[in-house]
Structure 1
């Protein structure tokens, strides 16, 4: 499995509403045959978790 959070060196998936030290709550995993064309953490702060966006092909 590929961890797109690790591959793209994402620093955190938490918003500023989250005050604890844990920086990751959400991940996107894919098999080796999935090519991530675009992956990012969006900065829309509506909860403690930031939304994740992925555009892919296989």
Structure 2
């Protein structure tokens, strides 16, 4: 899974998130996570938290 900056991913929790920083490719990322209540939290996620890439950034 080749994740790039600003890709939108689906987390195993069912939430979606946008990658805003890549700390270590394939290991850890900073992401804006869309919470079920409509809020957005910025948090560190790990590769194993990601189920799939939803949309890829063209850049």
TM-score range, shorter chain: under 0.3
> Which structure: larger Rg?
1
TM-score by length of 2: 0.26
TM-score by length of 1: 0.27
